Amino acid sequence: MNQLSCEIDTPVGRNGIKAIFKGNEDGPTIAFRADFDALPVHEQNDVPYRSKNDGCMHACGHDGHTLGVAEIVNEHRHLLKGNVVFIFQYGEEIIPGGSQEMIDDGCLKNVDKIYGTHLWSGYPSGTIYSRPGAMMASPDEV
């Protein structure tokens, strides 16, 4: 990834990160939410981004798309009309997680819309699926 040129705010809440790409013109502020917590899973992949901690793997799909979008936003920041914010939430897998602490610390201040999308390996690369309303949201623990 190329070096990103953005403002970084950390910690947000206890351990969160907020990165802001400021546009050249006034416009809406759009946020993308990702998480960076890890699950107690032994990673079996042999890839460069493999976890350095045995028995601890980030097996979620939020971060892959968010880091890719950040790189694209950075490369095209001269075209931005408004701002793009990337919010990296900690503790997603543990209720209540870090979201409320981050919100209380102002991570959504001046944000007009927020997206929390997810990679889904069952679909072809380069394809976007959506529908009106909430999708893949779950505020519970089993």
Return the active site residues: 37, 92
Contact of 90 with 13, CB cutoff 8 Å: yes
> What tokens does 59 get?
């097996």
Cβ contact 18:36 at 8 Å = no
**Residue 84 CB partners (closer than 8 Å, separation 6+):** 20, 21, 23, 29, 30, 31, 32, 73
Close Cβ partners of 139 (under 8 Å, ≥ 6 residues apart): none
Instruction: State the Cα–Cα distance between residues 76 and 23, nearest whole angstrom.
Output: 10
Continuous segment of H or E residues that includes residue 72: helix 62-75
